[in-house]
Amino acid sequence: MEESQWKAKIRLIADKEEKIIQQLLNYNPQPHLTEVMDRCSLCYKKTHRIDIRIVEDQEGLFEDGIKVCKHCAEKHRLKELFNEKSASYHGLTEAILRICGTAYLKNYKE
């Protein structure tokens, strides 16, 4: 899949997820829906969602991949997957960042 197609797919998923989350938040505040931190499946550290990648599971337990931080992916030389799970994860991340605004990105970069 080309990079432009991949980004378009993620953007489409993000649009759908953003609408769903906005509707849920309008009904009742639910902070867990907009959590920008997630855990790495290898080191178990909480990491910003931007730094999480869906990579192949070398143990073969999860055929659609596991969530790992960039550091662990590089350290263990894990290949990033470009499948439905990865697209959904990145789409949800983009939707959460849209809802939370740029404040989370500003704090992340500092």
pTM confidence score:
0.83
Query: What is the share, in percent, of the chain residues with pLDDT greater than 70?
Result: 92
pLDDT exceeds cutoff 50 at 110: no
Q: Is the pLDDT of residue 106 over 80?
A: no
- What integer is the mean pLDDT of 83-110? 80
Residue range 6-27: average pLDDT?
92
SS (H, E, C) the chain: CCHHHHHHHHHHHHHHHHHHHHHHHHHCCCHHHHCCEEECCCCCCEEEHHHEEEECCCCCCCCCCEEEEHHHHHHCCCCECCCHHHHHHHHHHHHHHHHHCCHHHHHHHC
